[in-house]
A and B are shown apart, each in its own frame.
Chain A
């Protein structure tokens, strides 16, 4: 347990002072995107590499994925809590395929646009769509969440299932989503939270310290729960709602876990990643994972923390706090009328 605590402190240090990492563990990344706005924006993720990950995921993706389906099901369940219909909807990247498959008429969607940055993924969705004739009228677009190609005030609903945590400019992506919504339109998103794959992170850090004498980023920085509400407010959404769920998936071994991540298109896309993983370090990681977190039956658990975000575009009919000083009844009067009696 002491080594676990030490690993956690190192992780915190790494998150805060990434530039202090030993230089020999950094690799020269590909040229940054020529379309970069410049300024002080930090580019954390290699979007071109993530696109290639998505291309590969389109080919190795499992037909049904228990974890992805559970998250998509939870996201769609929120539509049943709304008393209005959303005729036009946009479904962004990540696990949009699962969302489409599990929609089953919820939300009253009549026209659906499905968008991903990977052409292969979009084509795969279209094949699945052609296989089933029912459901809403569906259109397909290849696009980037950070540069949303959707007209302003055109959608009733925008959903994103496990995709936005790979954006460099998450607030910017969410602002664009809000602008694409009609007034009183709904934004629904599920992103991976900071506790995701904590076991793998710890095991990998310990293994690298033992074998290589230093650490390099092996896992992406992920949003913390307390950040999600700020993100919604900062993007201009009203009535923000955030809640968290945690899923534990069990694997027979660490290799199976890595294969699952690859099938989901969730492998490392950091600019500052070390592209080489030594076999020695990989084997040590698997051994440490097993010894620190392995279960009685020999399988290993992996944690996936999912943050669900709900936000609405502003509309006059929405409830909001009244202006300060506009009260007509005082709390003192209420206290006198309903307070505890003397006897």
Chain B
């Protein structure tokens, strides 16, 4: 896949729990609006430590974007 985090340029992973694209290196989750990934830095939401931990435990797969 060719999509990466707009800030860190590191790969993204898809989080099925809340349907977002997560950048672990930057600690930011980007929304997917109506099937279109939104990778504008302002749209990203910071992940708190608990979210990071819980999301890492859940199943993940690469972004299909």
Which residues of chain A have a CB within 8 Å of any CB of chain B?
Answer: 33, 35, 48, 51, 88, 113, 117, 119, 122-123, 126, 139-144, 147-152, 154-155
Q: What is the number of residues of chain B that contact chain A, defined by CB distance less than 8 Å?
A: 20
B57 CB to nearest chain A CB (Å): 26
Q: CA A155 – CA B4 in complex, angstroms?
A: 13
Q: Which residues of B contact A151 (CB under 8 A)?
A: 1-4, 9, 11
* Alpha-carbon distance A292/B23, docked complex (angstroms): 55
Q: Are A142 and B39 in contact (CB under 8 A)?
A: yes
| Complex: chain A residue closest to B21, CB-CB | A149
Q: B65: which A residues are within 8 A, CB to CB?
A: 139, 141
State the CA gap A33–B43 with chains docked (Å). 12
Q: Is the interface of A mostly helix, strand, loop or mixed?
A: mixed
B interface with A by C-beta (< 8 Å): 1-7, 9, 11, 33-34, 36-43, 65
Chain A's nearest CB lies how many Å from the CB of B64? 10
Partner of B6, one of A119, A140, A144: A144
Task: Give the contacting residue for A119; candidates B2, B36, B41; CB below 8 A.
Answer: B36
Show 16 residue pairs from A and B whose CB-CB distance is below 8 angstroms, ordered by the A residue. A35-B41, A88-B2, A119-B38, A139-B65, A140-B36, A141-B3, A141-B37, A141-B39, A142-B38, A144-B39, A147-B7, A147-B40, A149-B6, A150-B4, A151-B11, A152-B9
A23 to chain B, nearest CB (A): 29
A96 → B minimal CB distance (Å): 14
Decide: A143 near B6, CB < 8 A? Known: A33-B42, A149-B39. yes
Asked if residues A117 and B4 are in contact (CB atoms below 8 Å), the reply is: no
Complex contacts, A123 vs chain B, CB 8 Å? 34, 36
Q: Which residues does chain B contribute within 8 Å of A150, judged by CB atoms?
A: 2-4
Q: Complex Cα distance A256/B4, Å? A: 41
A119 touches B37 (CB 8 A): no
SS class, residues of chain B in contact with chain A: mixed
Kindly identify which residue among A139, A140, A143, A154 contacts B40, using a CB–CB cutoff of 8 Å: A143
Which residue of chain A lies nearest to B32 when distances are taken between CB atoms in the complex? A142
Q: Least Cβ distance of A70 to chain B in Å?
A: 29
Given known pairs A149-B3, A151-B2, A151-B4, the reply for A117 and B9 (CB within 8 Å) is no
User: Chain B residues with Cβ under 8 A from A140's Cβ?
Assistant: 36
Known A119-B33, A123-B34, A152-B9; judge A143-B2 contact (CB<8 A): no
B12 to chain A, nearest CB (A): 8
Answer whether A154 and B43 are a contact pair too, CB < 8 Å, given A140-B36, A142-B38.
no
CB pair A113–B43 under 8 Å, yes or no, is no
Q: Which of A35, A88, A142, A155 contacts B36 (CB 8 A)?
A: A142
- Residues of chain B within 8 A (CB-CB) of A154 are 2
Point out the residues of chain A lying under 8 angstroms from B40, CB to CB. Answer: 51, 117, 142-144, 147
